[in-house]
A and B are shown apart, each in its own frame.
Chain A
Amino acid sequence: MKRVEVGGRLREIFAAVLDLRPDEVIPSLSPDSCEKWDSLHHIHLVNAIQETFGISLDVEQQVEILTFELGEVIVWDALKAAGRASE
């Protein structure tokens, strides 16, 4: 999977889970800037990410998704570790 594709699909997930338009999902999107992003929706986000990308994030990775940008990095690292990232 290519990096740009990861970003696009992740944006769709954030938009679906947090009920935003795709263009509202900006790199700095965080629980502070998005009212809907509470702990419950964080779990939904993690579940949706794992489901969509077919990856398993450990608890540390799960709690590190503090912005959309960080989410992208963590998913990319997990895909690399699984040998499914193509630069």
Chain B
Amino acid sequence: MTMLRVEAGAFDQTSAVEHLLGLTTHQPEARLRLAELLDRDPSTSAYLKWSRRLPSFVESRRVALISSYTVETISPFLAVEAYLSGWRSSPSFIQYSNWQPALLDPSASLDGHDAAVLLLDDATIVNQRLADSAAATTSITDLLGAFRAKSKLPLFIGLAPSRPNRHAIGLGHEERVQTLSQIQWFNSAVSTFCAQDRATRLIDVPGALAACGSEAWHDADAFAATISYVNNKGYPALARAIARSVGGLLVPRYKVLVTDLDGTLWGGVLGEDGVEGISAGKGRVGKAHAKYQGFLRQLRASGILLAIVSKNDEPHVREAFETHAEEMAIGWEDFTAAKVNWKAKSENLREIADELGLGLDSFVFVDDSPVECEEVRHSLPMVTVIPVSPNVADLPDRILASRAFDTLTISREDHTRADQYRVERARKAVAQGSDIEGFLASLELKVALSAYDNGNADRILQLLLKTNQFHLTLERPSSVALTNRLKDGCELYAVTLADRFGDYGIIGAVELEVAPPSMMIRNLAVSCRALGRKVEDAIVAFAAARAREKRCERLVANYVTGPRNHVIEEALQRLEFTTHATGGAARVYALPVTPASPAWPKHVKNVIAVRAP
């Protein structure tokens, strides 16, 4: 822990602020407070100062910055912005004169990175003018194609912003308009490439820089002297755009938003103003709250679970939802969990986390009461608390600014997640009064295992990156590492689950490697949505079937202990795996494979569409 430097006659203000912000702790709100501080002072000195004081416990990611202009001075800005997005930046720079060779021969400079960011400028178009702009466009798509043929590294491309100084673009009005449209054409060719290549993503650099003011981010003299296309006024926005895009891919997204009702979801206090007296969607106040309600529905559609924690009586709250159903942008049924009672809010949050089987560190809590916010902060420091004040109108923007819900892609599973949790309630109702085996049999589970392909690759990676509980090794591999292992002979499968209530989608991933006489379970992850179904029994039975085909005598699983993945060790022990060896945080479990065991679990109705690679 960093100690506050105390010397007679000296006061280290930065260290003091560092402690007040909570930078020395895991408290997620330290990020929000630092972001607010930098909003007020986005100067080079401030970014430099904070870049040296960032906590080391945040996971580091190696990102290569390939740029057609000098960008090395972005380092302190990127370090801080990456921290605000939940990752630690450890960048390497490909000098601007080498950006094309780096794409043509990625193994030389890009091996060992988690992602690469390519930043383009408009020089190729502006310098070559109209005659060669078609050639420039063809050349960039050829370059990207050549890169992708040789490398699977996730690539983020920052589109070229048009420099603001008019004379550089062209003095004649027509010439200028044509050049600008050529730059758009160039960008659109890059966008088209990205749309066809799932590992390449766009960063809206022109949009990010425009937010700094149309002319503020570029300095013609600096560009002439140092080829710095973006100046220090533009760096915070550019670094933020990079950090949020890379973070969207590499950092697990928060999963639950818990909202208060009175003064938060609607205006007024239900207990005092009555059902008719609250402002739920009409009038100036009501409309501001309706905007927040609409934003919550949007979050729900993107895979975030919504929950209510409110100090009220539940029948009264349900009546309010029914009475204002037409004017409200959200309904009672949109919430996956609700705790309407008079208990401490932290206690209710704990109960919701238990019910959903999710860690509190993936929760965001929104409340208008400073007292309730403080109670949750104090009791549950791992929860990110966002107060409604100063006003509800900009609450959606402040929630987005927390970056808790940043993501690059929204999968089919994300779209249906909230509904699936609702179905889960129906399952639990069936479970009540029935023994576990009877309950599982009544679900009529269907499990399918299919080999890694383009259709399931994103979801497999998402599961390995985001699963914390039922995760054998807690390894967070890059897509490159995965494809390299496949090349080396590993087998990777997506596990799909369905039951009589509905389809869960892809809920698991398992990686197998033949190492005679053993079949290694290199990794195994199952979403918490599917826990308690004993799906792992089917996965192990499948691994055993592969072991028999490959004439292996046993299954071997390398379990690595983590803060919350003990459930997987318990499952291995239940399935009669025994400890084979131990070392540090790792324990090697083994299970003999005979013609008869392990057998397919009886509670799984059928295992379908097994496709080996």
The smallest beta-carbon distance between A38 and chain B, in angstroms, is 11
**A43 and B73 contact, Cβ closer than 8 Å, known pairs A59-B221, A59-B225:** yes
In the bound complex, residues from chain A placing their C-beta under 8 Å from that of B48 are 16-17, 19, 44, 48
- Chain B, 19-50, contact with A by CB distance < 8 Å: what is the 0/1 string? 00000000000000000000000011110110
Counting CB contacts under 8 A, is A75 at the interface?
no
Find out whether the CB atom of B72 lies under 8 angstroms from the CB atom of A51. no
Residue of B nearest to A16 (CB): B45
- Closest CB of chain A to B565's CB: distance in Å? 39
- Looking at the assembled complex, report how far the CB atom of A78 sits from the nearest CB atom of chain B, in whole angstroms: 14
Residue of B nearest to A13 (CB): B45
B73/A40 in contact, CB under 8 A:
yes
Tell me the smallest distance from the CB of A37 to a CB of chain B, in Å: 13
Whether the Cβ atoms of B43 and A52 lie closer than 8 Å is yes
Residue from A47, A48, A58, A62 with most neighbouring chain B CB atoms (10 Å): A47
Residues of chain B with a CB closer than 8 A to A52's CB: 43, 45
Residue of chain B at shortest CB distance from A22: B10
Give the distance to chain A from B562, nearest Cβ to Cβ, in Å: 35
Contacting residues, chain B, for A44 (C-beta < 8 A): 44, 48, 73, 76, 232
Contact with B along A43-81 (1 / 0, CB 8 A): 110011001100010110010000000000000000000
A51 engages B44 (CB within 8 Å): yes
Are B232 and A51 in contact, with the CB atoms below 8 A? yes
Per the bound structure, the CA–CA distance linking A13 and B46 in Å amounts to: 10
**Interchain CA distance A58-B233 in the complex, whole Å:** 17
Residues of A within 8 A of B45 (CB): 12-13, 16-17, 48, 51-52
Given A13-B45, A48-B44, answer yes or no on A40-B226 (Cβ-Cβ < 8 Å): no
Q: Is the C-beta of B52 less than 8 angstroms from some C-beta in chain A?
A: yes
Chain B hits for A19, CB < 8 A: 48, 52
Chain A min CB distance to B9 (Å) = 11
Chain B residues near A16 (CB-CB < 8 A): 45-46, 48-49
Q: Which residue of A lies closest to B75 (CB)?
A: A40
CB-defined contacts of B76 to chain A, threshold 8 Å: 44
Task: Say whether B442 faces chain A, with CB atoms less than 8 Å apart.
Answer: no
Q: Does residue B231 face the partner (Cβ distance < 8 Å to A)? A: yes
- In the assembled complex, how far is the CB of residue B77 from the closest CB belonging to chain A, in whole angstroms? 10
| Minimum Cβ distance to chain B for residue A40 (Å) | 6
What 0/1 pattern do residues 215 to 228 of B give for CB contact below 8 A with A? 00000010001101
Interface of chain A residues 19 through 55 with chain B (CB within 8 A): 19, 40, 43-44, 47-48, 51-52
Expressed in whole angstroms, the Cα–Cα distance for A50 and B52 within the complex equals: 22
Q: Is the interface of A mostly helix, strand, loop or mixed?
A: helix
B186-226 contact mask (Cβ, 8 Å, vs A): 1 or 0: 00000000000000000000000000000000000100011
B50-104 CB contacts (< 8 Å) to partner A: 52, 72-73, 75-76
Inter-chain contact B72/A48, CB cutoff 8 Å: no
Give chain B's interface residue range (CB within 8 Å of chain A).
10 to 19
How far apart are the CA atoms of A52 and B43 in the complex, in Å?
A: 8
Question: From A63, which residue of chain B is reached at the shortest CB distance?
Answer: B225
A34 → chain B closest CB, angstroms: 14
Chain A residues lying within 8 Å of B73, measured Cβ to Cβ, are 40, 43-44, 47
Q: Return the chain A residue nearest B14 by Cβ.
A: A16
The CA of A13 and the CA of B45, in the complex, are separated in Å by: 7
List of A residues within 8 angstroms of B75 by Cβ: 40
The smallest C-beta distance from B65 to any residue of chain A, in angstroms, reads 14
Q: How far is the CB of B306 from chain A (nearest CB, A)?
A: 42
Task: Among B44, B72, B221, B226, point to the contact of A17 (Cβ < 8 A).
Answer: B44
CB distance from A76 to the nearest CB of B (A): 19
Bound-complex Cα distance A12 to B49 (A): 11
Nearest to B43 among chain A residues (CB) is A51
Q: How far is the CA of A52 from the CA of B44 in the complex (A)?
A: 9
Chain A residues whose C-beta falls within 8 Å of the C-beta of B43 in the assembled complex: 48, 51-52
Residues of A within 8 A of B228 (CB): 43
Q: Which of B49, B221, B231 contacts A58 (CB 8 A)?
A: B221
A13-B45, A17-B44 as given contacts; A47 in contact with B232, CB under 8 Å: yes
Q: Please indicate the chain B residues that have their CB under 8 angstroms from the CB of A12 in the complex.
A: 45
Across the two chains, which residue of chain B brings its CB closest to A18?
Answer: B48
Nearest residue (CB) in B for A17 is: B48
Q: For the complex formed, measure the closest distance between the CB of A1 and the CB atoms of chain B, giving whole angstroms.
A: 17
> Which residues from A are CB-within-8-Å of B72?
40
Report B373 CB to chain A, min CB distance, Å.
33
Closest to B233 in A: A51
In the bound assembly, the distance between CA atoms of A19 and B231 in angstroms comes to 22
Given the complex, which residues of B lie within 8 Å of A56, measured CB to CB? 221
CB closest chain-B residue, reference A47: B232
Please, how many angstroms separate the alpha-carbon atoms of A59 and B219 in the complex? 12
- What's the least CB distance linking B136 to chain A, in Å? 29
* A23 nearest in chain B by CB position: B10
B44→A47 contact, CB < 8 A: yes
* Interface hub of B43, B72, B75, B231 (most chain A Cβ within 10 A): B43
Measured in the bound complex, the distance between the Cα atoms of B225 and A56 in whole Å is 14
Do A47 and B49 touch across chains, with their CB atoms under 8 A apart?
no
Chain B residues whose CB sits within 8 angstroms of the CB of A13 once the complex forms: 45
A47 to B225, CA, bound (A): 14
Inter-chain contacts of B221 with A (CB < 8 A): 56, 58-59
Q: Which of B46, B52, B73, B233 has its CB near the most chain A CB atoms (within 10 A)?
A: B73
Name which residue of chain A comes closest to B232, CB basis.
A47
Complex CA gap A82/B231 in Å reads: 22
The 4 closest A-B pairs by CB, nearest first: A47-B232, A16-B45, A48-B44, A47-B44
Q: List 16 A-B contacts (CB under 8 A).
A: A12-B45, A16-B48, A17-B44, A17-B48, A19-B48, A40-B75, A43-B226, A43-B228, A44-B76, A47-B232, A48-B43, A48-B44, A48-B48, A51-B44, A56-B221, A58-B221
Beyond A16-B46, A51-B43, A51-B232, 15 additional contacts (C-beta under 8 Å) are: A12-B45, A13-B45, A16-B48, A17-B44, A17-B48, A19-B52, A40-B72, A40-B73, A44-B44, A47-B231, A48-B232, A52-B45, A58-B221, A59-B221, A62-B225
